[in-house]
Structure 1
Amino acid sequence: MARTRFVGDSGLTARMTLVLFLLGALFVGLIAVLMAVFGRSGGPGVAVLIGIAGLGVAWYQWYSSDKVAMKAMRAREVTPEQAPELHGMIDRLCALADMPKPRVGIADTPLPNAFATGRSPERSVVVVTTGIMGRLTAEELEGVLAHELAHVAHRDVLVMTVASSAGIVAGMLTQGAQYGALFGGRSRDNNSGLPVWIVVLAVSLVTYAISFLLLKILSRYRELSADRAGAYLTMKPQALASALQKISSGMDSVPQKDLRASQAMNAFFIAPAVKGVSLSTLTSTHPSLEQRLEQLARIQTELGRTTP
């Protein structure tokens, strides 16, 4: 975690370290199995090439995460002259947190949301939508921005991107195995054995499933951690709680086509672009609204006891 005035979170650090270790081991195991499978069919180099390709895709996603995310949301970078109030809020929060100021962007969409991304605190961007700016009060928007800046300080975008490598390789293999099925790929050593593509498909699906669940569990915790850090920074957890409630209820008024167009960004948003769906599942990218509000209420009570 970066050294800022955001409250420390040893739980987040431990979880990010554990997930990286487990997914690293999973990635190595996947490549080892593929080398064994392709080795029997005379092509162990294929497994190595697939691994390198997967790492290359993950590296590109990390290196270009800010540009890719802004392009996906059709966001534009804005100057202090174009958005003085927004820049003023981020200036104050960055000074309070003692961290570099990120670039600032606005996405023209009715979707009430915000996100932060970038490969480092010095190369990050915080984006808000016109939908969220028109719905929240200044105090509520400040709470949202503090949450997003906490993600930048925690460097969890970097961890999530690197941790996705195993899933990326598994997804590539799944597609490749389905393609191979059309040509009936088989082990050369044992014509009566299982076709190579079935083995590859099974291994890649298991790898993808484990990677998917680990990343979702980490994603939910990082949202709670950012809520915590942002609330302690502003000392106004009730403002963030109010913002989350407005954002959640605001999803119901957003056209379904806008929700669908933005769902690929759900892992980055402060709240997922969904409506009428329970988030208390293993596959959700965010904790439930109830969990988040309960945590913020506890922080509010704690701050109330310590305030003279």
Structure 2
Amino acid sequence: MFARLRSSWPVLGAFLLVLGVSGTYSLLLCALLWWVGLPWWIGLIPFGFSLVGAEALHVLRDNEPPTKDTFVIARDDDSRVHAVLDRLCALTGLDRPVLRLYGAEGPNAVAHVPDRGPATVYVTADLLEQLDNQQLEAVLAHELAHLSHRDQRVISFAEGMSRWMLNLPISAVNLMYRVNEALWVLSLRAGTDWDPLFDAVEEVAEKRERIRRAEPLPLLLRPLALVVVLLGRGLIIIAALAVLPATLAGVLLFILTALPSNIVVLRLVRRRELAADRAAAELTGAPTVLASVLTSMTAAIPVSQPKGLSSLAAMDALSILPHTHPQPRETGAEDGFWRKSIALCRRAFSTHPPVAARVDALRDLASRRLTG
């Protein structure tokens, strides 16, 4: 039990640090309110908002696939990767995720769980071409560990906790967009074509024709539907006027609190990466294989990606490696104070631990398995 707690503490401690930063802001606000003679307990409200905002962001955000222009890998396309995935899912008891190919350069893999539909593991063509079966098993085990640990959900909640001052008004805007679309659909079914407010509906013309072909509302319900649409559109306009100043205030608060919040969230992301390495090594029973494949894959990651794939940085949190080559290796010429400071800042704002640290942790695990 102690060993299990010891291995899980780095991740738990990082998450508690995220909660601690938000709680510290509330305590500082309590102290300020007490000092000016106002009720101190009002300062606890932001902490509650951070919890509500984190959950609201998850519920209301559009959880789109991490990248477009992907293709399902059928068994006939690559039976080898399917056989490796089948074996890992049988060992873990996890539901089998969908395998998709995406267009990043270099060997890489990403785990993603959409709002609707099965979990998905994205892999690159270079990954399938350059890795043998044992190496491919180590990489896929790492991504299955992310799915098993629900890392996407945990990281999303942590980001919401650290950015609640922006997430609440943003979630309100997302909610207005969704209500706006529903009212537009209702107006079409009632026989009136009112354009959606804010131009919020994508592919309006295509949706308009599809809805018009659907069964319209009965004649007796159409007047009531139009009244609902009119009232709803008026409430949306009023809400938009109220949300705008809240959003501006949220931006100001975010600027003042963003630095420590981002640092602790990224620390959590790096800890989840180390935990996924450990889980993959324990599942496959080959920590040294994962260590060697991390080293070889890092050398093959390009310095930059094609312009059409600039959004790949958003996928780094659950990819086995960053999509662009990490900073150059430190040499003896980089012993100056400023160079060390820059390297420290880069690590603080990176989504992945240094590969050397990951390799050392895996080799330490391998040595303990041999001696244990």
Q: State whether structure 2 residue 261 is matched by structure 1 residue 211.
A: yes
2:156 corresponding residue in structure 1: 161
Contact preservation (8 Å) 2:287, 2:363: yes
1:95 corresponding residue in structure 2: 90
2:358 corresponding residue in structure 1: 292
Q: For the pair shown, which has the larger CA radius of gyration, 1 or 2?
A: 2
Contact preservation (8 Å) 2:14, 2:271: no
Q: CA deviation at 1:82?
A: 3.5
Contact preservation (8 Å) 1:170, 1:208: no
Q: CA deviation at 1:170?
A: 4.3
1:182 corresponding residue in structure 2: none
The correspondence of residues 1-308 of structure 1 with structure 2, limited to 5 A, is 9-11=7-9, 14-15=12-13, 17-19=15-17, 21-22=19-20, 25=23, 56-61=56-61, 65=63, 67-69=64-66, 72=67, 74-118=69-113, 123-171=118-166, 202-252=252-302, 255=305, 257=307, 260-275=310-325, 277=327, 281-306=347-372
Measure, in 2, the Cα distance between the counterparts of 1:100 and 1:30.
Answer: 45
Contact preservation (8 Å) 2:57, 2:168: no
Q: What whole-Å deviation, never above 9, does each CA across 1:38-75 have from its counterpart, x for those lacking one?
A: xxxxxxxxx9xx987875443344xx64x421xx2532
Contact preservation (8 Å) 2:100, 2:122: yes
Matched to 1:238, the amino acid is T
Q: What whole-Å deviation, never above 9, does each CA across 1:16-52 have from its counterpart, x for those lacking one?
A: 65146336647978999xxxxxxxxxxxxxx9xx987
Change (3 A) 1:56 1:27: farther
Measure, in 1, the Cα distance between the counterparts of 2:290 and 2:65.
Answer: 27
Change (3 A) 1:260 1:298: same
Matched to 1:126, the amino acid is V
Unaligned residue ranges in structure 2 (runs of 5+): 31-45, 171-245, 329-342
- TM-score with structure 2 length normalisation? 0.59
More off after superposition, 237-246 vs 50-59: 50-59
Contact preservation (8 Å) 2:270, 2:352: yes
Q: CA deviation at 1:80?
A: 3.1
Measure, in 2, the Cα distance between the counterparts of 1:276 and 1:155.
Answer: 26
Measure, in 2, the Cα distance between the counterparts of 1:203 and 1:261.
Answer: 26
Unaligned residue ranges in structure 1 (runs of 5+): 1-5, 33-46, 176-195
- TM-score with structure 1 length normalisation? 0.70
Structure that is richer in helix per residue = 2
Measure, in 1, the Cα distance between the counterparts of 2:249 and 2:303.
Answer: 46
Measure, in 2, the Cα distance between the counterparts of 1:236 and 1:98.
Answer: 19
Q: CA deviation at 1:252?
A: 3.5
RMSD between superposed Cα atoms in Å = 4.1
Q: What whole-Å deviation, never above 9, does each CA across 1:127-155 have from its counterpart, x for those lacking one?
A: 11112111222211110111111111111
Change (3 A) 1:86 1:115: same
Matched residues, number: 264
Matched to 2:65, the amino acid is V
Percent sequence identity is 26
Q: CA deviation at 1:91?
A: 1.1
Measure, in 1, the Cα distance between the counterparts of 2:315 and 2:26.
Answer: 28
Q: CA deviation at 1:294?
A: 0.6
Change (3 A) 1:141 1:9: same
Q: CA deviation at 1:258?
A: 6.8
Partner of 1:140: helix, strand, or coil?
Answer: helix
1:39 corresponding residue in structure 2: none
Measure, in 2, the Cα distance between the counterparts of 1:10 and 1:253.
Answer: 33
Q: CA deviation at 1:209?
A: 2.0
Change (3 A) 1:252 1:205: same
Measure, in 2, the Cα distance between the counterparts of 1:103 and 1:7.
Answer: 32
More off after superposition, 138-147 vs 275-284: 275-284
